[in-house]
Structure 1
């Protein structure tokens, strides 16, 4: 993996926090995700990120179309991060790239119908299972690029708790509070219905408010030197902006990890083999993705104001990345 440069932002404006709040979409709220009807033993339950990776230059044939449309899901930070990252590299190679925003359901519909070429944010085997059940016959998998998508309970890294269960006896060191996000988020439901009863956390005040409030609580704890426990999820740029770590979850109360896949319109790789290969070559780990998102969304950086400029800066700080993507060397 290429050498990474972590861009740390210690403070955020209210605007940046509101933008980050949209990230609650990543936590499987009923309004923007499938119901997760498929089981974890589906064909999407395991993914080798290196499968099919090879240098784009070795791919036979030429692309039929130099214009590429990528769909990004409203409020899903990693969706915009990967879409704009691919856009930057493709435009270096002479393509014209248009990024279009959708909620998850319409996004899958657009790719299935061929109105959009590619989407990069398919959460499987659970979160988007219903969309694959409905549209899978009209989609082409371009592989998975991230293998640690999950719901978490996180604390500041220098605090004492090591497992979620520790909060039951160490609550007084965390102001007897677990800071949550929006009431309608799947993360909130999972915490209420599984983590709290499974680990006996009923003595904690589980505050349900918003993602901006959760991030503000982290910021405040860092400034005051106090401990904080929050509901969070990976991938999220807060892991790059703040020294946070996940509590161990031996009972798997927060649910298992998922993979994030890229999909294209069925037959896309036959018509555009080089673009498809570039997408297949994409592999990001937690540190790399959090670093990229932090540049895009942190106040000390771009705060969501100009995603293309943010990605250009990140690529300038990681000059080897684009060629390693083209050469299939990110794994």
Structure 2
């Protein structure tokens, strides 16, 4: 398993680079607002997808194929959080499927929310966590500081501007006495690579993470309890669209408003994309195979 994990994360890094290039290419084309029309297929739809948020990537890639099958032309732009919110607010992107509220993306929604439309909640089983190796001798965040030597006072984070990062800095660190710890931020792929390396070597590891996430199925890690609720409670994974999207694209708006996927099915889709050695140009092939295995459910999404 560990050898496969190493290969997977080398590939995951290449996927991120390819996705970034694709996003830049779309931006270079002018970032024009999607054409609107009858709302009965044939229109051009622009989907914003956030780097590193696997659950959002999974459902966005799924819906891009569903919309193509319904006759729409779909453009996907992979981008960071702040640009994705800005692109929705300016109308350059039509929708983003993975906005966490009320906590994780609260600041972005406060800044841009007046220029967006909330479409719908597709999963309410999300929460942010601090995860450690499975055999760590404790299960709660209030014991993490007492084991500073075990972790060399090191907590591995994701992107500096992520809501999870800000929440960790503002609440987790002071609430649980981690002020003297080295909180290192870089990117989600880099954090996952450290998880892969540490678990392969049997080393202690503490990282910021979230659930649902395929890493809990792949590596021997566990989420720590958060008795102070410093990371907040369970959240809603929500679709937000540009202003006017419901009027311009009532058909898609209705489909997305009704869309729900339970955590078990979501993680099953994530594993297909991220646990196996899948290049981005193979996403369509593996997702379509997954769609065939879940055909009745997929068909129900646009019934």
TM-score range, shorter chain: 0.7 to 0.9
- TM-score of the aligned structures, taking structure 2 as reference length: 0.73
**Deviation by residue 1:233-262 (Cα, 9 ceiling, x = unmatched):** 335432333243311101112334432221
The gaps in structure 1 that reach 5 residues or longer are: 1-8, 24-61
Judged with a 3 Å threshold, the aligned counterparts in structure 2 of structure 1 residues 158 and 105 are, in CA distance, closer, same or farther, namely closer
Match of 2:268 in 1: 291
Match of 1:312 in 2: 288
**Deviation by residue 1:134-184 (Cα, 9 ceiling, x = unmatched):** 554543321111324443111234543211123234456x44454313583
Secondary structure of the residue aligned to 1:326 is coil
- Pick 1 or 2: higher relative contact order, CA cutoff 8 A, min separation 6: 1
Match of 2:131 in 1: 154
Match of 2:47 in 1: 71
The gaps in structure 2 that reach 5 residues or longer are: 20-37
Judged with a 3 Å threshold, the aligned counterparts in structure 2 of structure 1 residues 113 and 245 are, in CA distance, closer, same or farther, namely same
For the 8 Å contact 1:66–1:94, the answer to whether it is kept is yes
Judged with a 3 Å threshold, the aligned counterparts in structure 2 of structure 1 residues 249 and 126 are, in CA distance, closer, same or farther, namely closer
- Structure 2 counterparts to residues 229-240 of structure 1, below 5 A: 229-240=206-217
Structure with bigger helix share is 2
Match of 2:237 in 1: 260
1:280 aligned onto 2:276: no
For the 8 Å contact 2:51–2:78, the answer to whether it is kept is no
- 1:302 maps to which of 262, 278, 292: 278
Question: Counterparts of 2:90 and 2:178 in 1: how far apart (Å)?
Answer: 46
- TM-score of the aligned structures, taking structure 1 as reference length: 0.67
- Structure 2 counterparts to residues 1-331 of structure 1, below 5 A: 10-11=5-6, 12-17=8-13, 63-77=39-53, 78-129=55-106, 131-133=108-110, 135-171=112-148, 174-181=150-157, 184-186=160-162, 187-201=164-178, 206=182, 208=184, 210=186, 211-298=188-275, 300-327=276-303
**1:195 deviation in Å?**
2.5
